[in-house]
Amino acid sequence: MNSPHPSGQALFYFGASHHNCPIDLRERLAVTDERWAETLKAVTQEAGLREYVLLNTCNRVEFYGIGTADAAQLASRRFFAHQGFSEEQASAVCRESVNKGVLTHLISVASGIDSQMLGETEILGQVKDAYARAVTEQTVGPVLNRAFQKTFQYAKYVRSHTAITEGQISVANVAVDLAAKIFGQLKHVRVLLLGAGDIGEKTAKAFQSRGAAAATVSSRTLERSMELARQYGGAALPWENFEAHLGSFDIVVCSTAAPHSVVSTEAVRSAMSGRISQPLFFIDLALPRDVEPEVAGLDNVFVYNLDDLARIAEENLAAREAEIGRASAMIQEKAGALWDQLVPLLARK
């Protein structure tokens, strides 16, 4: 990492994202809720960090902190080692920066410029959630408070003053567009949503807007499944029963927060035995992935994950490419102004 502030303290970040870390490696880096506290303890214990925030999304795992250069390097080594990466593997996927470069990166992330799908709308909320969790856990102080709060303001500015968010760029919309290309009219297509969180809700809304019949919802919390099903005129399916009913659906949208796959190859093979000449289409929006990789090898079964959807979304990129330069210039200006505000805060003991 580069030189710290003259006080010895630096604003730093390290992590990995879709840019050079494929989905199978991002699965290994992902920090589940069950391992959140354990991971943070392993990374930060006795590292001498003043403040820190962990950002964990489907496309990136990034650690933002305040500390000496030695503390930042120690935290980075500990994180990748804790996730089972060798030093060589970590070096291949790790991205890092300090001071103003961190702010440029963070604003780019929050505004959607650094996203796998340029301009996607979910990321700002995910960054806000990561910051809110750090506030609750009392791991942030004056530097990161100012950095993140100003980042939210600047991200909204970039979005509203450029056209980077134009077009079908959300994960939900891209997924529904893909389903429409495969099945044509969606009116009679039977849809199962596995997971009743935010992305599941957005996907249900996107399917409904394209004429699909009401979706069936299944999640580990039956009450939440029923709530989402009622909202969109669908039905709830108890979680323990969904595998037995896979053959009844044409499209299965997976977006659970499970730490491992929930759709087994054997269950899909059994479902296909009753679907003669009828394809079964999985849209796997989860990380770690909900669908076992071997499912894609079954006859007449189609599986698309986050990286697949991103490649499809690139077709819509041309209309927004011209905006990247304008947005980047804005971000550089905002990052410089914010860094000037943070310098005196870094100097405080």
Q: Which residues are catalytic?
A: 58
Half-sphere exposure of 9 (CA within 13 A, CB side): 20
The structure tokens listed for 208 are: 């409904």
CB environment 181-216: b (16+ within 10 A), e (fewer): eebeebeebebbbbbbbebbbbbbbbbbebebebbb
The structure tokens listed for 158 are: 């970039």
Helices (H) and strands (E) in the chain, counts: 13, 10
Q: How far is CA 328 from CA 86, 94, 153, 290, in A?
A: 34, 22, 16, 35
Closest of 15, 103, 124 to residue 63, by C-alpha = 15
Omega cis (within 30) before 288: yes
Q: Where are the alpha helices (DSSP H) in the chain?
A: 23-29, 36-44, 69-82, 87-93, 100-111, 122-136, 142-161, 171-183, 198-209, 222-231, 265-272, 306-313, 318-346
| C-alpha span between 262 and 32 (Å, rounded) | 15
| C-alpha span between 343 and 346 (Å, rounded) | 5
| C-alpha span between 106 and 104 (Å, rounded) | 6
Per the CB < 8 A criterion, the answer to whether 51 and 141 are in contact is: yes
Could you tell me the strand order of the sheet in which 51-56 lies?
A: 51-56, 60-67, 10-17, 95-98
- Three-state DSSP class for 274? coil
| C-alpha span between 115 and 17 (Å, rounded) | 9
How do the residues of the chain divide into helix, strand and coil, expressed in percent and rounded to 5?
55, 15, 35
